[in-house]
Amino acid sequence: MILTGLPGLCQAPKKIPADKQRALQWKPEKGQYYFSHSLVFDYQNKAEKTSGSIKVYLDPVSGAMCFVKASSFGDGGKSFDFIIGFPDGRYIYCGSDEQGKKVRINEVVKEFKPDADTKTQQKEDFATYCVPTVNKRVDFGLESTEYDLTYATSGSKEKIWLTRTPFSVYPLYGLEFVEGAVSLPVSFDYMNLLPSDLLLTEINSKDLTLKLTSFGKDPFTANTKGYQLLKVND
């Protein structure tokens, strides 16, 4: 979904072309996924007195993202080695069960496909609670706009920067809807407020600072073939 006519939003950026390795290494039918780029966020959680970085691998063609334990969720997903998310709400979790057996879990997050009323409410909430300032900048070839974000429940305010992307960022935001499976050290719970092509690139609040510090080529291949599918009851 693309929001149009909202103040402060720039035109959608050009798509990022596939690199030459993708044709050779992107083989979903064989359980192999190739990610040519990565997004890196540096954060400082003042409330919990933690800091570090979060890396998210990206396939710009499909919008698929990969979260690797060592560089993203860490102890927030102890039993998983990596997680792959897709813009249609599908997730693949690869890790080990209690017996040490390598297993794979498939799940679909239904919130990726909101109904018409939800979409309308999202637009209204964005226009109400996200007010653009005059500040703009370019981060790694993507234009960012600063907003004053007001929280409806508390009335508190903070500064955020949003960037239009040529790919869906919902695989990142959607992790918040996966019950108990994994959690990033910083919450990206923005799916109910932001459309799929608006990426949070910076936030400054009383308890948290977060900033996108890198976006570029950083090849990584994830292979799910060695993990046996584990069916989970709904």
The answer to whether residue 10 sits within a structural domain is: no
The answer to whether residue 20 sits within a structural domain is: no
Structure tokens at 25: 């290494």
Tens-place pLDDT, residues 46-64 = 888 899 999 999 999 999 9
The answer to whether residue 19 sits within a structural domain is: no
Q: How many domains does the chain have?
A: 1
The answer to whether residue 17 sits within a structural domain is: no
The answer to whether residue 56 sits within a structural domain is: yes
pLDDT for 47 equals 83
pLDDT for 202 equals 96
The answer to whether residue 12 sits within a structural domain is: no
Name the residue with higher pLDDT: 36 or 122: 36
pLDDT for 206 equals 84
Which residues are registered as beta bridge partners of 52?
43
Q: Is the per-residue pLDDT at 68 higher than 70?
A: yes
> In terms of residue numbers, what domain contains 43?
30-229
Structure tokens at 202: 């910076």
The answer to whether residue 3 sits within a structural domain is: no
Name the residue with higher pLDDT: 217 or 6: 217
**Residue 65: closest CA among 141, 167, 212, 144:** 167
CA distance 50 to 45: 5
pLDDT for 180 equals 59
- The region of weakest confidence among 72-81, 97-106, 164-173, 215-224 is 72-81
Helices and strands, counts by H and E, the chain:
3, 12
pLDDT for 11 equals 56
Q: Is the per-residue pLDDT at 7 higher than 50?
A: no
Q: Is the per-residue pLDDT at 100 higher than 50?
A: yes
The answer to whether residue 2 sits within a structural domain is: no
pLDDT for 5 equals 36
State how far Cα 194 lies from the chain centre: 12
Query: In the structure, what pLDDT confidence band is assigned to residue 234 with cuts at 50, 70 and 90?
Result: low
Q: Chain-wide mean pLDDT for the chain?
A: 88
Query: In the structure, what pLDDT confidence band is assigned to residue 2 with cuts at 50, 70 and 90?
Result: very low
Q: Which region holds residue 48: left if phi is over 0, alpha if psi is between -120 and 50, else beta?
A: alpha
